[in-house]
């Protein structure tokens, strides 16, 4: 396994730049001294996000695709949503996702974010419904926390595939 700290900057960014959806600036923020272990790298990358201005965190949230949507997604998002069966929705489930995506976007101004790994479509729809009642500040913080979970899953996959 090649340790992250042993990679050149270009190789590090090529490998870890997509961990945070369409936001290679997160990986760039831990260079030139990235930790070599999953916990250290996950914490370091999360710290980069958490230290950035709210507008940049909002852009990070908005970089994520809607669930069960038809928009082009990053390869990792396609795999994650497929793993949760979101590519196999019944017409009724698809309609529910579309209705909830619209309601959530109108209420919060960004897409619903949940780390779908290990969840079923029913779990996701239930979380969607429950979180629509959250205060905007709580939902913003929750979206960032879910993005960190997603990033950790992605890092684990990348580090295991070394």
CB 54 within 8 A of CB 65: no
Task: Look up 64 and say whether it is catalytic.
Answer: yes
What secondary structure letter does DSSP report for 72?
A: -
**Catalytic residue (one of 21, 26, 57, 64):** 64
Helix locations, the chain, DSSP H: 9-16, 25-30, 38-50, 54-62, 75-83, 91-108, 121-131, 136-160
Q: What is the C-alpha separation between 162 and 159, in angstroms, rounded?
A: 5
Distances (CA, A) of 38 to 46, 57, 137, 151, 157: 12, 22, 29, 11, 10
Active site residues: 64
């Amino acid at each position: 396994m090649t340790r992250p700290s042993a990679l050149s900057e270009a190789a590090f960014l090529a490998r870890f730049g997509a961990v945070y959806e369409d936001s290679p600036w997160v990986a760039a923020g831990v260079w030139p001294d990235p930790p070599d272990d999953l916990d250290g790298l996950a914490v370091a990358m999360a710290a980069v996000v958490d230290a950035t201005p709210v507008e940049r965190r909002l852009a990070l949230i908005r970089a994520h695709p809607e669930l069960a949507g038809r928009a082009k997604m990053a390869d990792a998002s396609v795999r994650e949503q497929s793993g949760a069966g979101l590519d196999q929705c019944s017409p009724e489930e698809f309609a529910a996702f579309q209705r909830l995506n619209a309601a959530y976007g109108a209420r919060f101004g960004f897409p619903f974010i949940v780390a779908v790994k290990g969840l079923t479509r029913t779990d996701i729809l239930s979380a969607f419904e429950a979180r629509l009642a959250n205060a905007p500040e709580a939902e913003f913080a929750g979206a960032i926390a879910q993005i960190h979970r997603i990033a950790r899953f992605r890092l684990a996959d990348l580090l295991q595939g070394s």
